[in-house]
Amino acid sequence: MEAIAGIFDSRADAERAVSGLSSAGIANDRTVFLTPGTSDEEVESAVPITDTEQPGMGKAMGGAMGGAIGAAGGATLGLAAASLLVPGVGPVLAAGVIGAALLGVGGAATGAAAGAAMESGLAEGLSRDELYLYEDALRKGRSVVISFAQDDDAKERIHNVLAQAGAESIDAARESWWVGLRDAEEEYYQTEGGDFRSDEVSYRRGFEAALNPKRRGRSYEETASELNEAYREAATDKAFRRGYQRGQDYQKRVRESHNR
């Protein structure tokens, strides 16, 4: 199973993509819809409450899986929904049975249904190495749609729907993200001594390696064995190590900036 993601500037376009995927025969339980800045009202509607529960219970139950949600604009997505407070991002509406599990990799609360979906292998093919790109998009007020293809035919249909709805691909998002950081990283690297132009590939690789959720907050020395296994001899390169430390610093700045 392969995960295919699209990033949208407009929540309405993201919702249109979700509807399009359903119309194209992609099952709802194979689609994830993430959107930032969830209001209290949207949280309440996402997590059903009974007449005996007090207002605000929906928010308190962030991470619990609810029923079908009617999204803004009246479009019924027909997806299970969870409201999550994602560290470094803020409140996020995660529609889709693995939406909570996806962000749970980064430390958010997860619901029982999301956990079960992960255990059943629904998220097979989803790379933890890409999570920081989804988080970056959400921090910038963008929405993310991720769909899982079981075969080449489904893969083609998903790509077509996302493109028609105006999605930016995850590869394009990765390049845009780095372009936004590159000048500052070049200045830092050369101030510290080194030829950024020749070392950029290795430096960037180390930087991105540090953003994998399982390595966040862990020094190079603490992760050396797994880095060597994942990146082989590249992980011992000086530029890679400097990039790794810089990536850790970046993640820390992001969290601190959000928590101010």
Token pair recorded at residue 91: 């409140």
Average pLDDT over residues 158-167: 95
Mean pLDDT, the chain, whole residue set: 78
Same domain as 22, residue 96: yes
**pLDDT higher than 80, residue 60:** no
Q: Is residue 42 part of a domain?
A: yes
Examine residue 230 and state whether it is found in any structural domain, yes or no. Answer: yes
Task: Tally Cβ neighbours within 10 Å of residue 53.
Answer: 13
**pLDDT higher than 90, residue 39:** no
Which single residue is written with the structure tokens 């999570």? 131
State residue 84's pLDDT score. Answer: 72
What is the spatial distance between Cα 17 and Cα 176, in angstroms, rounded to a whole number? Answer: 22
Same domain, 61 and 144: yes
Residue type (1 letter), 35: T
Please give the average per-residue pLDDT across 205-233, as a whole number: 92
Residue 102 lies in a domain: yes
H or E, element range at 192: none
Of 141, 173, 205, the residue that ends a domain is 173
Q: How large a percentage of the chain has pLDDT more than 70?
A: 70
> Of 123, 138, 173, which residue sits at a domain end?
173
The neighbour count for residue 87, using CB atoms within 10 Å, is 16
What is the domain range of residue 147?
A: 2-173
Contacts from 160-163 at CB under 8 Å and sequence distance 24+? 160/24, 161/17, 161/20, 161/21, 161/24, 161/26, 162/4, 162/6, 162/17, 163/6
Quote the number of domains for the chain. 2
